[in-house]
Amino acid sequence: MIEVYAKKKLQDFLLNVNFSEKGIIAITGKNGSGKSTLLKMIAGILRPDEGYVKLNDIDITHLPINKRNVVLVTPESYIPTLDLKKHLKWGAKLKGRKVDDKEIMELAKLLEVPNENKKVGNLSLGNKEKVSLATAILAKPNLILVDEGFSNISEKEHFINIYIDLCKKNQIELIYVTQDVEDVKFSDHHYVMKNGSLHKVF
């Protein structure tokens, strides 16, 4: 369960959000409407001017990033100098998990992440996103936040379906921001962000 009641003064408007949901949440909205700022507040990169962020009934508003059990994924959230195995092991280690090669290869196969010795920085944009998203799953957080992290993946619908299924099997809640309204059909809840305010669609 993610619960946010928070206000944050931005350059052009006031971000003012109030929602409480469990499951898979999709957020759409125009660029600059406050979507990324909301995810950064939940992740702990930014702090609200007032209000709170709760995860599973625990107030995480003032917890440091590494204590929140939350992972934020963006198109740039990868380490370019690591290969696939090292990248996935690194992500798990950050959250105190040890993973073996079998678990890594099973996940890589399921998400169709290329099993190559290339550095992640040399992969295509879509495969970089797959590596980042797979790394987040292996960390086994309580919540994954995805900020436009599916945008360059080929056969995106197929991938999102599998990814959401993995989140549910691992009891990981997911909030994803997307510009593609077709992506919201996989979510349990859909919100639209308009000038800093969230409006529920379903």
Please tell me the pTM assigned to this model.
Answer: 0.95
Show the CA angle centred on residue 163, arms to residues 159 and 166, nearest 5°.
145
- Band the pLDDT of 187: cuts 50, 70, 90: very high
Q: Domains plus CATH for the chain? A: 2-200 (3.40.50.300)
Tokens at 72, concatenated: 């934020």
pLDDT per residue over 131-186, tens digit each?
A: 999 999 999 999 999 999 999 999 999 999 999 999 999 999 999 999 999 999 99
- Band the pLDDT of 17: cuts 50, 70, 90: very high
- Mean pLDDT value of segment 37-48: 97
pLDDT at res. 115: 72
pLDDT per residue over 83-128, tens digit each?
A: 999 999 998 887 888 888 899 989 999 999 987 788 999 999 999 9
pLDDT at res. 95: 80
Cα Rg of the chain (Å, integer): 16
Q: Is the pLDDT of residue 45 over 90?
A: yes
85 exposure class (CB count in 10 Å sphere: 0-12, 13-18, 19+): middle
- Mean pLDDT value of segment 13-39: 96
Q: Do 72 and 40 meet the contact criterion of CB atoms below 8 Å apart?
A: yes
